[in-house]
């Protein structure tokens, strides 16, 4: 099915380890976003991209890096994981920034840092 | 700035009860408004939207009306089902902010048979 695919779905990391979360969309969307979801906090924007080769910081970018080398892929990296990064991570994409369009979300990556 | 405030949950209802989840927003200009639903273990799915004042969004028996005078977009359903148990998020979007969606904190709904 067309949509947004996130890998992996689950991961446990030790403090200080690094990892990359992959988001892939096959809808030719220009805009892509990474959010984290924590209990009682809703969704907070980490980084986003408005097109291939572009990235920008959101509300909570510290400790994360991103890359958008291909239009269909948006990678989120943790260079040195910390317990505070234990969360559920969602990727989303959108056709444009036009108000009329919502987002298509992936099913999430549940990350635990011990 | 742009922000969304939702009523805090959890909300617990019996099957066939009436549901209202309040949502108010702060934004400059003319945002579009959305309701998303998240079922257990899944990502968020678009439930309904409204793009201008007085528009009513509807889907699966849920409705919400864009009220600019009260800056509100309350979600309603006349008769809830057990399968409606989920977390509901209100959100706004303005193209001038590079298409970013601003989310409320979410409201957990549990429906008992």
Partner residue opposite B103 with nearest CB, options A42, A94, A100: A42
Q: What is the pLDDT of residues B36-77, one digit of tens each?
A: 999 988 889 999 999 999 999 999 999 999 999 999 999 999
* pLDDT for the residue numbered B41: 84
CA distance A112 to chain B (A): 15
Task: Supply the DSSP string of A15-61, one letter for each residue.
Answer: TT--EEEEEEE-S--SEEEEEEEETTTEEEEEEEESSTT--EE-SS-
- Mean of per-residue pLDDT scores for chain A: 92
Is B43's CB within 8 Å of A105's CB? Answer: yes
CA distance B113 to chain A (A): 26
CA distance A81 to A67: 18
Question: B10 burial class (0-12, 13-18, 19+ CB within 10 angstroms)?
Answer: exposed
* pLDDT for the residue numbered A66: 97
Is B95's CB within 8 Å of A98's CB? Answer: yes
Q: What is the pLDDT of residues B18-33, one digit of tens each?
A: 999 999 999 987 889 9
């Amino acid at each position: 099915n067309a949509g947004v695919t996130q890998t992996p779905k689950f991961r446990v990391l030790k403090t200080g380890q690094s990892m990359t979360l992959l988001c892939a969309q096959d809808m030719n969307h220009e805009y892509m976003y990474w959010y984290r979801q924590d209990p009682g906090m809703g969704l907070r924007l980490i980084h986003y991209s408005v097109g291939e080769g572009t990235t920008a910081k959101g509300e909570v970018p510290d400790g994360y890096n991103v890359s958008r080398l291909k239009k269909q892929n948006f990678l989120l990296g943790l260079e040195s994981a910390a317990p505070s990064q234990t969360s559920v991570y969602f990727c989303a994409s959108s056709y444009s920034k036009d108000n009329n369009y919502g987002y298509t979300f992936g099913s999430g990556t549940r990350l635990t840092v011990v | 700035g742009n922000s969304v405030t939702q009523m805090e949950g959890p909300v617990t209802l019996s099957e066939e009860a009436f549901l209202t989840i309040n949502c108010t927003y702060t934004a400059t200009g003319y945002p579009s408004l959305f309701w998303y639903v998240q079922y257990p273990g899944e990502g968020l799915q678009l439930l309904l939207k409204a793009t201008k004042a007085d528009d009513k969004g509807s889907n699966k028996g849920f409705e919400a009306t864009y009220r600019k005078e009260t800056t509100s977009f309350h979600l309603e359903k006349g008769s809830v089902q057990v399968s409606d148990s989920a977390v509901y998020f209100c959100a706004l979007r303005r193209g001038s902010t590079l298409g970013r969606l601003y989310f409320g904190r979410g409201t957990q709904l549990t429906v008992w048979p």
